Amino acid sequence: MENLTKKDFTSDQEIRWCPGCGDYAILNSMQKALPNLGRKKEEFVFISGIGCSSRFPYYMNTYGFHSIHGRAPAFATGIKLANPNLSVWQITGDGDALAIGGNHFIHALRRNIDINILLFNNEIYGLTKGQFSPTSQKGIKTKSNPHGTTDTPFSPSDLAIGSQSSFFARVVDTNPRLMQSIFIEAEQHRGTSLIEILQNCVIFNDKTFDAITGKDFKKDAQLILEDGKPMIFGSEMNKGITLNGLKLEVVTIGENGVKEEDVLVHDAKEEDPTLHAMLARMQPPEFPAALGIIRSVKRKTFDSGVLSQIEHEKENSKFKTIDELINSGDTWEV
């Protein structure tokens, strides 16, 4: 097979994102990740809805489709069913996916069709110039609500786990290496892979994730989960997560008799999503934000179910062609 590089996935289109936008890092990480998947270039398809993130297909030198607002899952589903051999990637934002596209979004996760969804979450509408979005923090003042929003924001992780998502990961746009590895694992997972990317909008919602990504304290504010490894984090790698009754707790190894073996070990493959949901809800300053692959479980995919039904009908149907069907039973000439 041809040895592909990042250059093979870079299009000739002028990139029209604002200077400093987190989307650049995501695009760069994707272009570096795809050559490691061992696929032909023509097997990749990128589908998007509407928004800043949805310009993504133009900048990938692959097949792509810039579709309509909130409806990218419908297009991605149809493409995957029509050609199951394709690697289908849906690019969407928090407004595109969770507002007008909310119904499509949750049912794509529920059906577990074998596609990859990248949710660029900057907690704002960027393309339409700074209105609050379904993930905007309560009280934020924007052009569409100068007195501050009173809405309670959606949690993508809660929506994902509530929709029985088989794969959920989270990453920040300032960690391209982690992004690349998660993109690869998402494609290797059979089923809907949802990756929430905490992405900075420098113009309309700058530093909204600063409590997580700030250089001076990010090691204490981020827990990078690894399956089968203890949940240890911190600038000195001496902090951990334990379960105290029904609540998670941050502990310091070596203090109050706490040992490393007391720290929870991450199990992304656990069928019961309870602990995954608890980890995904953690936020600074009380807890670190959970990054990496939070949940990855095996579940039958929607496309495999549909395709098996088609094959069953082909094998058991008494009609093998349309002509046989039309000419069956009572027929006559006019």
Q: How confident is the model over 193-234, as pLDDT tens digits?
A: 999 999 999 999 999 999 999 999 999 999 999 999 999 999
In whole angstroms, how far apart are CA 107 and each of 77, 127, 245, 332?
Answer: 11, 25, 33, 46
Report the half-sphere exposure of 300 (CA within 13 A, side-chain side). 6
The rounded distance, in Å, linking the Cα atoms of 226 and 293 is: 7
Quote the crossing angle between the two packed helices 176-188 and 23-33, to the nearest 10°: 50
Check: pTM over 0.75? Answer yes or no. Answer: yes
For residue range 223-274, list pLDDT tens digits in order: 999 999 999 999 999 999 999 999 999 999 999 999 999 999 999 999 999 9
CATH superfamily of 6-208: Thiamin diphosphate (ThDP)-binding fold, Pyr/PP domains (3.40.50.970)
* Confidence check: pLDDT of 334 > 80: no
b/e sequence 91-118, b meaning 16+ C-beta within 10 Å: bbbbbbbbbbbeebbbebbebbbbbbbb
How far apart CA 261 and CA 240 sit, in angstroms, is 10
Give the number of residues written for the chain. 334
CB 302 within 8 A of CB 164: no
Long-range (24+ apart) CB contacts under 8 A made by 46-50 are 46/89, 46/90, 46/91, 47/72, 47/75, 47/76, 47/79, 47/88, 47/89, 47/90, 47/91, 48/72, 48/90, 48/91, 48/92, 48/96, 49/91, 49/92, 49/93, 49/96, 49/97, 49/101, 50/96, 50/127
For the chain, the maximum distance between any two Cα atoms, rounded to a whole number of angstroms, is 93
Structure tokens at 265: 């070990």
Domain boundaries, the chain: 6-208
Residue 333 confidence (pLDDT) above 80: no
- The C-alpha atoms of residue 156 and residue 183 are separated, in whole angstroms, by 18
Structure-model confidence comparison of residues 200 and 322, the more confident one: 200
Per-residue pLDDT for 42 more than 80? yes
**pLDDT tens-digit series, residues 103-152:** 999 999 999 999 999 999 999 999 988 889 999 999 998 878 889 999 99
pLDDT of residue 10: 97
